A = this chain, B = another copy of it.
């Protein structure tokens, strides 16, 4: 039990290559999308009754089940309300190479993202936009921190999330593979809405506070600004990423160009 709660700490997760998945929504998605990685599932009797379909799926997948009391579960959890269910899972072994081997069309590379909620929201937005993977530089918050896992609402198990990357080396490798890199930058002269986004590309984003370092932005194929129509100075990283990724997704579904004369 102490071994489980210790996974709330980054050093312990890193050493053991395992992490915590809390609450029915996340556990359901974990079992649905990554059952072979589940090491243990701890749940209260009440949660097992309420979420019979999760219990059935876990049994079918051969997951090792442990019935625990609510107090024991609370002691194992990082969340204040684990809602009766915690799984321990192995961290996926996705790499940049394994992602590139699948000819990705839409990627996002995050540099120095520090806020767990922001990172989780970007992963969820990338999933919703149909991105092929989320790439994260080595100077970022751990993608397997409990708060990140919770805020992805299960999306962490829906697409590869590659962590610990060297941002500069990644930009070079993407270029070598013919994937266009687009640095988001408030002052860029190219606006998001002018771009043709039908070819394979990767959004490259820095933190809200400091933006992308010039040393990285300079190596990207294009610098792109998200238009601001009102008086706001900027958008936070999660919103910026969501807007860019959705614009990319929409461009593939329904490519847009200048409106022809006489169009409605």
User: Is there a chain B Cβ closer than 8 Å to A155's Cβ?
Assistant: yes
Q: In the assembly, what is the distance between CA of A234 and CA of B33, in Å? A: 17
Inter-chain contacts of A255 with B (CB < 8 A)? 259, 263
Residues of A within 8 Å of B, CB-based: how many? 46
CB distance from A33 to the nearest CB of B (A): 7
User: Which among A153, A238, A246, A257 has the highest number of chain B CB atoms within 10 Å?
Assistant: A246
Q: Are the C-beta atoms of A256 and B253 separated by less than 8 Å?
A: no
**Chain B, Cβ-Cβ closest to A241:** B239
Q: How far is the CB of A210 from chain B (nearest CB, A)?
A: 14
Q: Which residues of chain B are near A155, meaning CB under 8 Å?
A: 230-232
| CB-based nearest B residue for A123 | B232
Closest to A264 in B: B257
Query: Known interface pairs A33-B231, A153-B232. Does A193 touch B250 (Cβ–Cβ under 8 Å)?
Result: yes
CA distance A164 to B238 in the complex (A): 28
Asked whether A233 is an interface residue with its Cβ less than 8 Å from the other chain, the reply is yes
Most buried by B among A153, A234, A235, A255: A235
Q: CA of A103 to CA of B231 in the docked complex: distance in angstroms?
A: 19
User: Known pairs A124-B236, A153-B236. 7 more at Cβ < 8 A?
Assistant: A124-B235, A127-B232, A128-B239, A130-B229, A131-B230, A155-B232, A227-B253
